[in-house]
């Protein structure tokens, strides 16, 4: 195989302009205009408004490249475009090659007759996605979400680029993935498909290799598997056929497990073909030995929805993932790796790739394989109505095939899901009554996609929509069957405790908004913008009613914050508490409930949103909370009135024997009453370990100054602790906790020793004024008399600093400082 890489510097210009600028491929128009200083950062203040005009124009990309005689003489020469965004025309040496109209597809064109030895020229014209959807929408109006530019369902382009309730309207254009010319002699590997059979602790692999051949020569097909210890096993097959199956028997398989359940050993596969001992093509990738499916069976509550990995039912813990930037060109594997590490640090075992973005790059799946995150992969359809014309059908079919083939071998792939919320929309959202379009829904999500998967990836579970009870418009958001998106807390303004009324089988979306940190807000505002109702702040709040909702929940829970930074802090605490109420409740009901994926993990730009990590990678209070509420062994308290039940949820593979110490304390942390409980909790189960009632002690007055603290000890070690109030925080009589801290430099880490000398400190927040870092814990509660040590790995610091610089930048606040 011979490759001429077309990535790198290109020339680009607006179609009607005479001035060529420097462009970079893979990349995008916005990114190139930004790099050339033609436009300002579209995320700054209200610059987003300028994007509409930029995206209303057409752009031309062009470059020259050299092809040698040898390449021209090969049997097959193709132009490969791994991703073009979106409507384009491709010319080679001024001759038309093809048009494209699907960002999610991989394109390949035979170009041998169009190339010449020496200098060649490729020109790609990208047409305005805005003009395209406008014209199509006039012909046939299609329903889509109100936050996006009208007509977006007409184009196979990541929906969020047109705007969402957390995303700006910046429909960028570009050659967004690799582009190259490839040539082969004799044959090439068209497709490799691996299936696994697990039986009696052994694994049989069937590696099906399909070849595309241009000559009838005998080929030798060589498959090598390198196990996680580096041991190799090679099989060679001499063949004249177009398809071969190569089998491997693995007697001592090292199984792949999601994070929290075991390791992630990967097996490297190399498939090569040789003609007369010359290698003509090869493919290399990793697999993990595991089974993953979803158990969806009738039971006493309805119909289950639980992920079963290597025979073990796991409680899915994670969040929903959206694209990482509006200017996709700015993504990097390093940035994504940090985000995946953040998920692992917060004890996730699953991530849902939401259907309004794009199918992530290979490196995303490689990272999930390596770190142990099960991927819930939506097909890229969300909150919209589509019209199944012949052209659209061909387009989405090809898109699905390309992505199924690309992704299916990954160990992390846990489920294919047809779409986000479209079945639910047809049933519950009052869409325009168009029976033909409703039938089209069934044809796409309950016929076309499952049929394709039956043929191409039968080992991965398919689910028609999220939420769904299994399809056919049959109660898609049923609390007792399938998965649920629950939005009554937040959109419905219900209190956090409302989550406790439901024992969803699997909650794949629920969320609560907050503002990003002041450091992040400073990147897009001037000082005069720093009021949540300012023009600029509202530009960075895409959900119309959201600021009102934050203020409503604020009024329910906290005192009125004294200033802008305190309001930001309060909003993050509300968010963290809300989600904690839901997750802890469902984890206490492990068995009936088997999954929690909150909305949403990340942001694509600096914005007020449901994310737990903002677009600069800064952890909000929620992410620190997630680290605690997703811990495999969870201690939690369910309080009601003057009662409190103490639970331990054990999502580990071992039973635990522990001791719970509880202390009823005053606001200055004096102990009023205390006790201990010995607990044994089976693996993969949840148990109520104690029921406490303080009706006699907790008069209405006392409720306002008393809290319960519980600590779990396992094998003599303090595992975790948690507290609850018996009143809303706004009514609790917090005293000045008189926080004292000291930092020590311990080789590759700083350790902060922190203490509350005055009384109970709630929501202790640590932050650095300018730099960023990860604290081993944050937004925690501290009783008087306890010294907590918080670790900051120096590798997590955004810049090198001395202990003095670190201590100088360190700021500490608690709820007491908020009002
Ligand atoms: C869910 C998602 C998104 C949306 C979020 C917040 O329904 O699927 O479409 O951004 O709610 O409203």
> Distance between CA atoms of 698 and 702, rounded to whole angstroms?
5
Q: What is the pLDDT of residue 127?
A: 98
Question: Would you say 353 and 321 are in contact if contact means Cβ atoms under 8 Å apart?
Answer: yes
Number of H helices, E strands in the chain: 17, 45
Provide residues with CB under 6 Å of ligand 1. 164-166, 383, 420-421, 485, 509, 599, 610
Token pair for 510: 């629920």
Output the residue whose Cα is nearest ligand 1's atom 6. 165
CATH code assigned at 137: 2.60.120.260
The pLDDT tens digits for 71-114 are 999 999 999 999 999 999 999 999 999 999 999 999 999 999 99
b/e per residue, 561-596, with b = 16+ CB within 10 A? beeebbbbbbbbbbbbbbbbbbbbbbbbbbebbbbb
> Distance between CA atoms of 666 and 663, rounded to whole angstroms?
10
| Same-domain status, 328 and 363 | yes
Does residue 667 lie within any of the structural domains? yes
> Distance between CA atoms of 802 and 504, rounded to whole angstroms?
49
| Same-domain status, 712 and 757 | no
Q: What is the pLDDT of residue 365?
A: 98
- Which ligand 1 atom sits nearest the alpha carbon of residue 354? 8
Instruction: Judge residue 800's burial from the number of C-beta atoms within 10 Å of its C-beta, 0-12 exposed, 13-18 middle, 19 or more buried.
Output: exposed
- Which ligand 1 atom sits nearest the alpha carbon of residue 610? 6
| Same-domain status, 778 and 813 | yes
Question: Would you say 322 and 356 are in contact if contact means Cβ atoms under 8 Å apart?
Answer: yes
Does residue 664 lie within any of the structural domains? yes
- Which ligand 1 atom sits nearest the alpha carbon of residue 145? 9
Output the residue whose Cα is nearest ligand 1's atom 9. 383
* Number of folded domains that form the chain: 5
> Distance between CA atoms of 325 and 336, rounded to whole angstroms?
11
| Same-domain status, 191 and 212 | yes
Question: Would you say 656 and 717 are in contact if contact means Cβ atoms under 8 Å apart?
Answer: no
| Same-domain status, 175 and 26 | yes
Helix (H) or strand (E) holding 252: none
Q: Tell me the mean pLDDT in the region 453-472.
A: 98
Q: How far is the CA of 420 from the centre of ligand 1 (A)?
A: 9
CATH code assigned at 680: 2.60.40.10
Q: How far is the CA of 206 from the centre of ligand 1 (A)?
A: 40
b/e per residue, 292-330, with b = 16+ CB within 10 A? bebebeeeeebbbbbbbbbeeebbbbbbbbbbbbbbbbe
| Same-domain status, 153 and 191 | no
- Which ligand 1 atom sits nearest the alpha carbon of residue 383? 9
Q: How far is the CA of 252 from the centre of ligand 1 (A)?
A: 44
- 107, 124, 106, 128: which is closest to 172 by C-alpha? 128
The beta strands (E) that lie in 426-539 are given as: 461-463, 484-485, 507-509
Output the residue whose Cα is nearest ligand 1's atom 10. 165
Does residue 300 lie within any of the structural domains? no
- SS3 of the chain: helix, strand, coil, percent, to 5: 25, 35, 40
Q: Which of 732, 753, 771 is the last residue of a domain?
A: 732
* Other CB atoms within 10 A of residue 22 CB: 11
Token pair for 179: 């582009």
List CB contacts of 747: < 8 A, sequence separation 6 or more.
none
Output the residue whose Cα is nearest ligand 1's atom 12. 165
Q: How far is the CA of 133 from the centre of ligand 1 (A)?
A: 22
Angle at 469 between CA 465 and CA 474, to 5 degrees: 95
| Same-domain status, 672 and 758 | no
With a pLDDT cut of 70, the percent of the chain lying above it is: 100
| Same-domain status, 651 and 617 | no
| Same-domain status, 389 and 501 | yes
Q: How far is the CA of 356 from the centre of ligand 1 (A)?
A: 9
Q: Which of 252, 287, 322 is the last residue of a domain?
A: 287
Question: Would you say 42 and 168 are in contact if contact means Cβ atoms under 8 Å apart?
Answer: yes
- Which ligand 1 atom sits nearest the alpha carbon of residue 355? 8
Q: Would you place residue 539 in the very low, low, confident or very high pLDDT band (cuts 50, 70, 90)? A: very high
Q: What is the pLDDT of residue 704?
A: 98
Q: Would you place residue 426 in the very low, low, confident or very high pLDDT band (cuts 50, 70, 90)? A: very high
Q: How far is the CA of 559 from the centre of ligand 1 (A)?
A: 29
Backbone φ and ψ for 680, nearest 5 degrees, come out as -120, 125
Q: How far is the CA of 321 from the centre of ligand 1 (A)?
A: 11
- Which ligand 1 atom sits nearest the alpha carbon of residue 421? 8
> Distance between CA atoms of 582 and 692, rounded to whole angstroms?
21
Half-sphere exposure of 176 (CA within 13 A, CB side): 34
CA dist 40 → 227, 330, 368, 416, 759 (Å)? 50, 15, 34, 39, 49
Range of the domain at 690: 633-732
Q: How far is the CA of 165 from the centre of ligand 1 (A)?
A: 7
b/e per residue, 506-539, with b = 16+ CB within 10 A? bbbbbbbbbbbbebbbeebbeeebbebeeebbbb
Does residue 58 lie within any of the structural domains? yes
> Distance between CA atoms of 538 and 532, rounded to whole angstroms?
7
Q: Would you place residue 466 in the very low, low, confident or very high pLDDT band (cuts 50, 70, 90)? A: very high
3-state helix/strand/coil string of 628-694 = HHCCCEEEEEEEECCEEEEEEEECCCCCEEEEEEEEEEECCCCEEEEEEEEEEECCCEEEEEEEEEC
Specify the DSSP class assigned to residue 30.
H
User: What is the overall mean pLDDT for the chain?
Assistant: 98
| Same-domain status, 520 and 619 | yes
Q: How far is the CA of 739 from the centre of ligand 1 (A)?
A: 39
Token pair for 683: 């693996």
In the numeric block, the tokens 């689910």 are attached to: 463
Q: How far is the CA of 257 from the centre of ligand 1 (A)?
A: 30
- Which ligand 1 atom sits nearest the alpha carbon of residue 509? 1
Token pair for 497: 């405790």
Output the residue whose Cα is nearest ligand 1's atom 4. 165
Q: For a substitution probing ligand 1, which of 147, 599, 607, 610 has the most ligand atoms within 8 Å of its CB?
A: 599
What is the layout of strands, in order, in the sheet containing 219-226?
Answer: 232-239, 219-226, 267-275, 278-287
Q: Are strands 507-509 and 484-485 parallel, antiparallel or unpaired?
A: parallel
> Distance between CA atoms of 707 and 731, rounded to whole angstroms?
13
Q: Tell me the mean pLDDT in the region 25-46.
A: 97
| Same-domain status, 760 and 788 | yes
Does residue 481 lie within any of the structural domains? yes
Q: Which of 580, 599, 629 is the last residue of a domain?
A: 629
List CB contacts of 367: < 8 A, sequence separation 6 or more.
333, 336, 337, 340, 373
Q: For a substitution probing ligand 1, which of 148, 165, 381 has the most ligand atoms within 8 Å of its CB?
A: 165
With a pLDDT cut of 90, the percent of the chain lying above it is: 100
Output the residue whose Cα is nearest ligand 1's atom 8. 420
Does residue 484 lie within any of the structural domains? yes
Q: How far is the CA of 141 from the centre of ligand 1 (A)?
A: 22
CA dist 693 → 392, 721, 722 (Å)? 62, 19, 17
Token pair for 465: 């929509």
Helix (H) or strand (E) holding 625: helix 621-629
* Other CB atoms within 10 A of residue 545 CB: 12
> Distance between CA atoms of 224 and 236, rounded to whole angstroms?
9
Q: How far is the CA of 27 from the centre of ligand 1 (A)?
A: 27
The pLDDT tens digits for 334-372 are 999 999 999 999 999 999 999 999 999 999 999 999 999
**C-alpha dihedral over 145, 150, 154, 155, to 10 degrees?**
-90
- 46-52 contacts, C-beta under 8 A, 24 or more apart: 46/535, 46/536, 46/539, 48/168, 48/169, 48/170, 48/539, 49/539, 51/168, 51/169, 51/170, 51/171, 51/172, 52/130, 52/149, 52/169
DSSP 320-363: EE--S-SSGGG--HHHHHHHHHHHHHTT--EEEE-TTS-PPPHH
Q: What is the pLDDT of residue 396?
A: 98
Q: Would you place residue 579 in the very low, low, confident or very high pLDDT band (cuts 50, 70, 90)? A: very high
- 596, 616, 650: which is closest to 483 by C-alpha? 596
Q: For a substitution probing ligand 1, which of 418, 509, 542 has the most ligand atoms within 8 Å of its CB?
A: 509
Q: What is the pLDDT of residue 785?
A: 93
In the numeric block, the tokens 């304390």 are attached to: 665
Q: How far is the CA of 389 from the centre of ligand 1 (A)?
A: 27
Cα 320 versus chain centre, distance: 5
| Same-domain status, 616 and 740 | no
- pTM of the shown model: 0.98
Question: Would you say 806 and 768 are in contact if contact means Cβ atoms under 8 Å apart?
Answer: yes
Q: Tell me the mean pLDDT in the region 715-720.
A: 96
Does residue 292 lie within any of the structural domains? no
Q: Would you place residue 191 in the very low, low, confident or very high pLDDT band (cuts 50, 70, 90)? A: very high
In the numeric block, the tokens 């519950």 are attached to: 428
Cα 149 versus chain centre, distance: 24
Does residue 298 lie within any of the structural domains? no
CATH code assigned at 577: 3.20.20.80
């Amino acid at each position: 195989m011979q490759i001429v890489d077309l990535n790198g510097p290109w020339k680009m210009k607006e179609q009607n302009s005479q001035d060529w600028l420097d462009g970079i491929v893979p990349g995008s128009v916005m990114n190139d205009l930004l790099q050339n200083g033609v436009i300002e950062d579209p995320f700054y203040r209200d610059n987003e408004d300028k994007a509409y005009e930029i995206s209303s124009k057409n752009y031309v990309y062009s470059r020259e490249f050299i092809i040698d005689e040898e390449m021209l003489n090969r049997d097959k020469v193709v132009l490969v475009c791994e991703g073009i965004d979106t409507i384009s025309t491709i010319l080679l040496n001024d001759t038309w090659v093809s048009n494209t109209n699907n960002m999610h597809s991989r394109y390949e064109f035979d170009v041998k007759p169009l190339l010449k030895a020496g200098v060649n020229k490729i020109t790609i014209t990208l047409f305005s996605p805005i003009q395209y959807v406008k014209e199509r929408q006039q012909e046939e109006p299609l329903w889509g979400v109100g936050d996006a530019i009208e007509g977006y369902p007409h184009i196979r382009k990541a929906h969020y680029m047109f705007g969402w309730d957390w995303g700006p309207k910046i429909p960028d254009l570009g050659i967004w993935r690799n582009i190259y010319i490839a040539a082969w002699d004799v044959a090439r590997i068209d497709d490799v498909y691996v299936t696994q059979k697990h039986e009696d602790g052994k694994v049989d692999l069937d590696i099906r290799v399909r070849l595309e051949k241009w000559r009838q020569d005998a080929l030798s097909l060589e498959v090598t598997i390198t196990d996680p210890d580096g041991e190799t096993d090679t099989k060679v097959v001499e063949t004249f056929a177009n398809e071969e199956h190569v089998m491997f028997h693995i007697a001592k398989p090292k199984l792949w497990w999601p994070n929290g359940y075991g390791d992630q050993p990967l097996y490297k596969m190399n498939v090569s073909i040789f003609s007369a001992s010359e290698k003509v093509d090869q493919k290399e990738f990793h697999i993990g030995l595991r089974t993953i499916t979803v158990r969806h069976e009738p039971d006493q509550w309805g119909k289950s929805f639980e992920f079963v990995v290597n025979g073990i039912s796991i409680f899915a813990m994670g969040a929903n993932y959206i694209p990482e930037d509006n200017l996709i060109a700015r993504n990097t594997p390093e940035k994504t790796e940090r985000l995946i590490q953040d998920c692992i640090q917060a004890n996730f075992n699953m991530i849902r790739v939401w259907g309004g973005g794009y199918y992530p790059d290979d490196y995303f799946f490689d990272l999930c394989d390596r770190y142990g995150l099960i991927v819930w992969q939506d097909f890229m359809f969300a909150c919209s109505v589509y019209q199944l014309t012949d052209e659209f059908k061909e387009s989405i079919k090809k898109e699905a095939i390309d992505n199924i083939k690309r992704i299916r071998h990954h160990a992390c792939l846990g489920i294919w899901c047809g779409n986000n919320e479209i079945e639910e929309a047809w049933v519950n959202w009052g869409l325009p009554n168009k029976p033909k379009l409703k039938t089209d829904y069934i044809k796409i999500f309950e016929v076309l996609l499952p049929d394709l998967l039956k043929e191409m990836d039968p080992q991965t579970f398919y689910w028609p929509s999220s939420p769904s009870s299994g399809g056919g418009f049959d109660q898609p958001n049923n609390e007792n069957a399938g998965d649920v998106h629950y939005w009554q807390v937040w959109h419905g303004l219900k209190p956090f405790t409302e989550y406790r009324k439901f024992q969803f089988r699997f909650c794949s979306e629920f969320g609560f908004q907050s503002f990003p940190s002041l450091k992040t807000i400073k990147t897009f505002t001037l000082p005069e913008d720093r009021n949540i109702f300012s023009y600029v702040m509202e530009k960075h709040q895409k959900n119309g009613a959201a600021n009102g909702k934050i203020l409503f929940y604020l009024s329910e829970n906290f005192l009125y914050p004294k200033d802008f930074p305190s309001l930001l802090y309060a909003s993050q605490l509300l968010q963290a508490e809300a989600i904690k109420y839901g997750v802890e409740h469902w984890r206490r009901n492990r068995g009936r409930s088997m999954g929690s994926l909150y909305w949403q993990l990340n942001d694509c730009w600096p914005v007020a949103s449901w994310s737990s990590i903002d677009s600069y990678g800064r952890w909000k209070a929620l992410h620190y909370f997630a680290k605690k509420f997703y811990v495999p062994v969870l201690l939690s308290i369910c309080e009601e009135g003057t009662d409190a039940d103490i639970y331990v949820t054990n999502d580990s593979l071992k039973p635990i024997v522990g001791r719970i110490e509880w202390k009823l304390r005053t606001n200055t942390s004096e102990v009023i009453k205390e006790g201990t409980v010995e607990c044994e909790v089976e693996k993969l189960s949840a148990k109520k370990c104690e029921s406490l009632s303080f009706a006699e002690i907790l008069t209405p007055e006392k409720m306002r100054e008393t809290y319960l603290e519980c600590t779990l000890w396992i094998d003599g070690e303090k595992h975790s602790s948690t507290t609850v109030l018996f009143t809303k925080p706004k009514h609790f009589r917090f005293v000045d906790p008189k926080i004292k801290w000291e930092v020590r430099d311990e080789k590759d880490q700083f350790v902060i020793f922190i203490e509350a000398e005055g009384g109970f400190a709630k929501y202790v927040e640590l932050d650095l004024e300018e730099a960023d870092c990860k604290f081993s814990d944050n937004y925690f509660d501290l009783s008087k008399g306890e010294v907590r040590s918080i670790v900051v790995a120096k590798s997590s610091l955004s810049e090198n600093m001395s202990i003095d610089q670190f201590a100088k930048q360190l700021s500490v606040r608690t709820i007491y400082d908020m009002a």
